[in-house]
């Protein structure tokens, strides 16, 4: 049984957000339903996750318009996760640029190579790929590679076999993601992710 005070959590998140992102950071009332979903997922509250349609065995795909605070919230929510469920936030654009210097081995780096030692043996590294779908298509020695598609496919295989979780943020719709990565990746994303969506009328909070 989990007991937590949403109001206290929101106050802490706003205070920490101002420290990390600047004094302009604020938590808006309209975003409370989304934040509540993220919080009950982070602390592993199975009962409330079930009520909100969240599966703790899947990762999070946080979707919403540009500037609503998806990245900031995912960085703050990470503090509420137990150690073995904490994740690294990695901009998708950076992975595309890593392809230019490291080549195709970065696919293994973020999938088969993404394990680390813990007290109870090895466990998968959890990544949150930020701004999924906006990374530029790049070539490596003349060969074009949709690096995020390959990483997602590899992590899907490990999700099935090892329970490897993946999180992501995006401002693209389901159809746009399918256009960007193809039907095969989109189909696997449905299995890998819980979809958490900001209201389409949420405004740009950046200044």
pLDDT of residue 138: 67
Q: Does a structural domain hold residue 31?
A: no
Q: Does a structural domain hold residue 137?
A: yes
d(CA 116, CA 113): 9
Q: Does a structural domain hold residue 21?
A: no
Residue 185 three-state SS? helix
Domain of residue 130: give its range. Answer: 55-197
Burial 54-82 (b: 16+ CB within 10 A, else e): beeebbbbbbbeeebbbbbbbbbbbebee
User: Using an 8 Å Cβ cutoff, are 128 and 88 in contact?
Assistant: yes
The mean pLDDT of 66-84, rounded to a whole number, is 94
pLDDT of residue 143: 61
- The predicted model scores a pTM of 0.92
Q: Does a structural domain hold residue 43?
A: no
The number of distinct structural domains making up the chain is 1
Residue 139: band (very low, low, confident or very high) from pLDDT cuts 50, 70, 90: low
Q: Does a structural domain hold residue 101?
A: yes
Q: Does a structural domain hold residue 100?
A: yes
User: Using an 8 Å Cβ cutoff, are 49 and 36 in contact?
Assistant: no
Q: In percent, how much of the chain has pLDDT > 70?
A: 92
- Say which CATH number the domain at 126 has: 3.40.50.300
Is a pLDDT exceeding 70 seen at residue 141?
no
């Amino acid at each position: 049984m989990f007991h937590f005070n949403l109001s206290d959590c929101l106050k802490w998140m706003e205070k920490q957000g101002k420290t990390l992102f600047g004094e302009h950071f604020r938590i808006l009332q309209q975003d409370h339903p989304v934040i509540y979903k993220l919080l009950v997922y982070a602390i592993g509250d199975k009962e409330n996750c079930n009520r909100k349609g969240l599966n703790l065995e899947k990762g999070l795909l946080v979707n919403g318009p540009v500037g609503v605070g998806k990245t900031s919230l995912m960085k703050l929510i990470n503090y509420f996760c137990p150690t073995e469920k904490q994740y690294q936030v990695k901009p998708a654009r950076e992975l595309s640029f890593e392809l230019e210097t490291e080549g195709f081995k970065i696919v293994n780096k973020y999938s088969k190579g993404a394990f680390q030692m813990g007290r109870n043996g090895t466990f998968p590294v959890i990544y949150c790929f930020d701004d999924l779908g906006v990374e530029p298509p790049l070539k490596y020695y003349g060969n074009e590679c949709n690096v995020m598609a390959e990483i997602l496919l590899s992590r899907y295989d490990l999700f099935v076999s090892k329970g490897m979780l993946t999180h992501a943020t995006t401002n693209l719709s389901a159809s746009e993601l399918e256009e960007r990565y193809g039907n095969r990746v989109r189909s696997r994303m449905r299995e890998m992710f819980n979809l958490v969506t900001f209201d389409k009328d949420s405004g740009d909070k950046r200044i």
